[in-house]
A and B are shown apart, each in its own frame.
Chain A
């Protein structure tokens, strides 16, 4: 049976996570921000599944299922908010929403 180095799976997950993170930090379009968040969540899920394979146990996969559920709920709410924002401000630029400025 061919084997896969454990750390390579985890490093792949880390790189995907970091790609998502840089999207969150640099994009101004809120749709892209939401997508980047999805990438980050997915990377976490990948890390769990890799861990599950490493220990030969199914608990990691269960955590992945939980993350999946979380992502689904989050996307539903997030998209609802985006639609609401577009209706009010007629833009998807998150810099417009800076009323928290002190």
Chain B
């Protein structure tokens, strides 16, 4: 069974080709069957492969499909590498991917681009599988760019609206910054180590480089650049909130569960390089910490349901980076998995809400939806509980592990831990703010709907077919109990992770359990409670009206002004430069050359009179000249 892993990306790729080559002429039922079925086959195969692999006790398995190219000693192959880490990623991608595809058949049922949607989705899954299966960095880069392309195509899926196209371009360009850094990192690794095979790099690097050596630091930092771009961490996080312009299942699959965690995967995959560069590893931790706090504060002020979830995603990936930075590799992967479950659940539930309310995104135009949208409500409650890390949900176990690992960091343990706990508090605050505002309180939807003339005021009824409810159910179960799964990555990180059992004090444990609960309570007080509704509202207005509160609200709402900052630092100067160079300064030289050619052309044209005698006399002139040279010279 293991030799069949080449088929894993082949199924979705075949689905993509089938859907693209028929150009949407297939009936929806068949297009959906192809789109979902191909991922389903992939998932089945992934499950069988995983069972066999984990049962066999092998450490890794490499499958060479064919040699991609052969240039001197550089022979990257289309070869797939399987180990515990890959297995986890495979199951997440194909499993969550399958559920989201299934959900999409309901969500996109009325969309004219149904087949196109599934074609892109299939291509995405194929690329993502190549990314995690690749045994060399070139093939990984192929998958990396493939998912970037699909992300671009799917963010701009509803291309009728120019804003969506703008968001897609923004995502593409911003991630390109990281990708370029990663490409340079690849060049550096190849130039220094002479190979791009990941396993060879991981064995060669410690032999060639001592810890903290310049080249190791440079390589790790460049790879980190790529990871930061893809995973929307500081300072390249600005694209992800705008990426919410795509259909909601896209946000669930690409911008929450899989693609944005590719950076985490990359760092975990090349963790030995990062251990060789302790300064970069520390940088990873602080990038994660800064990102999770920044995104947490920003999420608190957003009004768009999907943007809240997007910032929450950025924040949660910040946790994963924090874990990577303190060397808790398996904790990072564990959180990656649980996050995939509960964030996919939250996005899909948000999709149900949005669809049921006729594409309403503003949470303050919702309210009191818990009886009207029971499935979405319970999904949200479960997902938010896991996101907040309430005890015994999946998120609790993974976040717990990360925070304990952060605390164990020799130098900055306390600082990282406090930051993480503050982040957890913020998480509780903003996620239950979302739940309370949307599902409790007064129904603001009808009110607003009747104000809008073009908005058809219709009775809200929940859009849930079996195709949409079943994924929510499964993901809900996984979000609740996913924490009991043990990620089989011990072998991958065995030599890297010191498993010294730290015994933190009872106080630490208590704090970590109580902080989220405390956050939920405050959130309830401010947004949810009926008895104190007046008081909560009063408090909110008071906070918002105080100068500091107003400033912070606006500052956080704009995502810490990062967009404006980039606009000022990069976009404006670039546009000014482009404006200056409109007539292309360097091109003047070539224009002059062209002008010279044109002038000499005109001069030569004069010699072409079209008269036969003229040509004959030129001939004779040449003859006289040549004979003259022969006779007199």
Contacts and interface: CB of A to CB of B under 8 A. Distances in A.
Contacts of A1: none
A99 B610 CA distance: 6
A102 B604 contact: yes
Chain B's interface: helix, strand, loop or mixed, by majority?
Answer: helix
B610 A98 contact: yes
Contacts of B620: 21, 25
A25 B624 CA distance: 14
Contact of A94 (B606, B609, B613, B617): B613
B456 interface: no
B611 A95 contact: yes
A101 interface: yes
A99 B612 CA distance: 11
Contacts of B616: 24-25
Interface in A19-64: 21, 24-26, 28, 33
Given A21-B620, A25-B620, A98 B613 contact: no
Most buried by A among B608, B610, B617: B610
Interface string A65-102: 00000000000000000000000000000110111111
B605 interface: yes
B604 A25 contact: no
Interface string A7-24: 000000000000001001
B617 A100 contact: no
B495 to A, nearest CB: 78
A94 B611 CA distance: 7
Given A21-B620, A25-B617, A25-B620, A94 B608 contact: no
Given A24-B616, A25-B617, A25-B620, A102 B608 contact: yes
Nearest to A101: B610
Interface in B550-607: 604-607
Contacts of B612: 33, 94, 97
Contacts of A98: 609-611
Contacts of A101: 608-610
B613 A25 contact: yes
Contacts of B604: 102
A15 to B, nearest CB: 16
A10 to B, nearest CB: 14
Contacts of A25: 613, 616-617, 620
Contacts of A102: 604-608, 610
A101 B610 CA distance: 4
Contacts of B608: 100-102
A97 B613 CA distance: 11
Nearest to A28: B613
A80 B561 CA distance: 86
Given A94-B611, A95-B613, A100-B610, 18 more contacts: A24-B613, A24-B616, A26-B613, A28-B613, A33-B612, A94-B613, A95-B611, A97-B610, A98-B609, A98-B611, A101-B609, A101-B610, A102-B604, A102-B605, A102-B606, A102-B607, A102-B608, A102-B610
For the complex of A and B, 3 pairs with smallest distance between CB atoms: A98-B610, A101-B610, A102-B608
